[in-house]
Structure 1
């Protein structure tokens, strides 16, 4: 039968404490229940009442000397399980007891009284925790950080340095006690392990080494082979998925087939100018012509025409109807705002895969606008315009004559040639590659549109021809 663990006589206890004090200053908090007795010395049976009293004293000695009723501190949780949290400072009643730090919304007495059955206050396990002062986690003064082994991080702060220093030292002492254990006179570590209400000490420092040896045991051959087989089968599954996808894509009908069956319809917005005109059998897209006619019918005198933006959701609704090739009446009440129609027209030109001024002509138009002599500049631009594809030329001619009519009502709509060019410059032409200076390109874009707008008749000829 195993002998019960008992303590030596009072005199021997006192002698051991004095010896421990002389050897190390860390033994000041040693209590009777934490002393390992000499196994060869005959022991007297311990009175149960005295054993309970000893355990009670041991529990008190493990508690750091802080007022157990707690104190109000500012608390913020910045990390939970390694995941960043929003930093919100709250005034919290903090209580330190043995290895845990408890947080209450009010003082402990009120919190315990108002606590619902089965609920526990927020707490921090100090075992394996790390504590340090910090100044980069908060702009407040007197802040220290607690990092737990579970990946949580807390900040505690108080404007009174004396108060926060007291809590920092007390929590650090508790962390050090529970993280490293108490040092014995023999030089080993006596790590405390709790089991319900009893406490036991590991008597040999080598025990912890043996436990760590088991934890760091390398993977056996069987588990390694399992991983290799799993990775091989996983690779095979991926190859199988790839092969099935390739077969599916190869069997998929072509875009032309889907269009012939009517499953996919070509959109108006985002369609190439030449393709759209060929499909519609015209040289000017029908939607462009409809918008121009509607603006000239009721919008030439509208304040800020083409400069003021229309409602974006209504513009997108109009775009959807046009793309679905549904019957469209721009005189309908839902398109009453003329700025919705002008916004849709500008969106059409911006959505073109190649602008109204084709990419290959961009540099030529820039060089032409740099010519200082007026007549030579007009002739250079006129020559370039007549070299454009017919859908681009005819659409450009229709648009510029329309914008010139907008300028004839400049007193009513408050639009000038410069204002119109600022709107339509980046809308009608842009370089294929943004390798140059964007600001310089924008200046040339606006100059080209403004000059062609002013000299519209000279460059494009009369509107009817």
Structure 2
């Protein structure tokens, strides 16, 4: 097992690598090239050291103290003198201070190529940076990427633009949706084709001081929260977003981000500088749906100009949420939620076809089911019937495999009655029915109710009579299904009648509505004769 010993200090002013001190001992892993060796520190971290700064030693020949190493390193032999001279020239070149008589640029050590994939969070509360690097690099080296960008941002020659903005991550590389898509206020800096996002301006100004840039421990918390590479990027202006001055930036490496500027002047300056000082290209007339430009181009290929104009007008029309009445002739009219008169006029009948078919299927399935109309069916199955009826699909309500629960059918009938814009007992007639059912004498009550029922519109009268005849057959089997007249009245009272504007005393109103249905069922033959 071979070891290497540092002959000289490799300080913090060096351009590459990790600093170390004279006398430090490392385990030699690999002689990577003629100038850099791969070694392991005592804390098991892997790093690269310049060959000219270290010397290979065998484990048995290691001296007992750093003083012995320093005495050997300071030997006045010609070879060591030459080595020291070359080392000093290399460090002078790496620190950026050269003279005309200094060595050529290719004489300075060259670091093996690094592969960085930076993935940073924009959350200003996180102090650490998640950086994926070559596994042979140390933790300190993994921060060098953003550290170098931060140093460039502090240089007046490299700094191109700096301004506050709001940023939101829309999509990750590969099109995956971001887990957090909230807007974050950051301080943006443009330097050499990269956008750096700082927590705020104070952090950026603090990082510009030379001291914080030289100290790694301090520099880490002063680094940007994230960066965006503008080379091979696409810039789009989001014109129809609820926020103003929004720009979309997208590339394969960083995904999709949105930047929102405060004023029109900042917006124009940001866009102009990005396009003139980077490799970004602009795509015009983008929408706020966050789609890639390919989807916009695909739409252009598929639709001609006339279709796009019509589509744009329809989207603008429906975005205003127009009432159903204004959509006649534009959209297909539904079945549920349509006025009873309109349904009967469409089907040329006085009882809706759906009511006849669903009640016929319920009676074929059997009225002996315990709790019929009182128990609720599966809500998704009930909504499926509603959807199929609205789409005018053929439905076999007697199919026991599809509709295995009779309560689904009864639930669909109750839903239809509740969805009527005006109930079976019209709004103006409800108060008269309530007054009639409160009369003390049965004869007067029966006469008043009879006259009110006769005065109902023909469609309401026939539909109400058809449903009550069905409910009479249900209550006739009350011993089997446990649904007596009172139970049915409690279910259908609120379903058949309601006020256009409900009163505060709703409990008392429910009592009266239940009493009306109860009286109509008990005196059905005299009221509807």
TM class by shorter-chain length?
0.3 to 0.5
Higher helix share: 1
TM-score by length of 1: 0.46
TM-score by length of 2: 0.41
Task: Give the number of the structure with larger relative contact order, counting CA–CA contacts within 8 Å between residues 6 or more apart.
Answer: 1
